[in-house]
Amino acid sequence: MKARIVTLPGDGVGPEVTAAAVAVLQAVAGHYGHEFTFDEQLIGGCAIDATGEPLPAATLAACKQADAVLLGAVGGPKWSDPNAPVRPEQGLLGLRAALGVYANLRPLQVHPALADLSPLKNERLQGVDVLFVRELTGGAYFGAKTRTDDTATDECKYTVAEVERVARRAFALARGRRKQLTSVDKANVLETSRLWRSTVQRIATEFPDVKVEHQLVDSMAMLLLSQPSRYDVVVTENLFGDILTDEAAALAGSLGLLPSASLGESRVGLYEPIHGSAPDIA
């Protein structure tokens, strides 16, 4: 197997964790006879310092030509002004949109040797094996934004097509696991969630062998910690998925222990830990 991998170490602990991941990949390649080539590029705060842009054109071009992209983390105190016109996070959001990686897969299992790291009782952690599928290129993070002296808005917008594609990906994954899918929304309040729920219900007819349930996001936040072994595949929108998967990291003991894969329809995938740049321990 041959693969061209673009590495984006980024900021904070990013270069350290990326170097460790590359060392593992090199060991895997040597053991199994693969041929991996690595191309390091800039993203985030270090890219702003070097080029003035959080996602330089050279970085984006390299990522589009790669077989996979390995990202560390972006951001830090140096670039933390929320009113700054250019911010490291813009590089990450821009990369996700440009690559069309609409499905963010975040698997969660509790390693027995690390169970004591979790603040939850060990009996709550037995049998926990959850795969979160977070919609990654729509919702409030990508909607129109306004700001005046006394008001601010963030548009949360979804199309039927956006929900259909991530729902189908989640159903297919559930079909290969325990055939249970939980869709999380806020359909009792939000119109986007009503669209989400009706679309998921319709797509469910294509997967009659998968059992589907719907949960409101606020109650799901409680159930994740009180009944985590109950869940198999969980699909939800961008903002809800960001929050719930960070919460679920408490089950494993740390944000630093969980991986993610962001996939679209093309061959290239974006792979990264779910933690941030952790400037306090960099």
Residues labelled as active-site residues:
141, 186, 218, 242, 246
Residue 31 burial (10 A CB sphere; 0-12, 13-18, 19+): exposed
68: helix, coil or strand?
strand
Count of beta carbons in the 10 Å neighbourhood of residue 218? 12
21: helix, coil or strand?
helix
Tokens of 192: 């986007």
Tokens of 39: 């191309």
Place of tokens 């016109």: 85
Contact (Cβ atoms closer than 8 angstroms) between residue 50 and residue 252 = no
Pick left, alpha or beta for residue 182 (phi over 0 → left; psi -120 to 50 → alpha; otherwise beta).
beta
List, in sequence order, every residue forming a beta bridge with 261; answer none if it has no partner. 105, 271
Q: Strands of the chain (E only): list them.
A: 2-10, 35-40, 68-73, 103-109, 129-135, 145-147, 152-154, 180-185, 211-216, 233-236, 259-263, 269-273
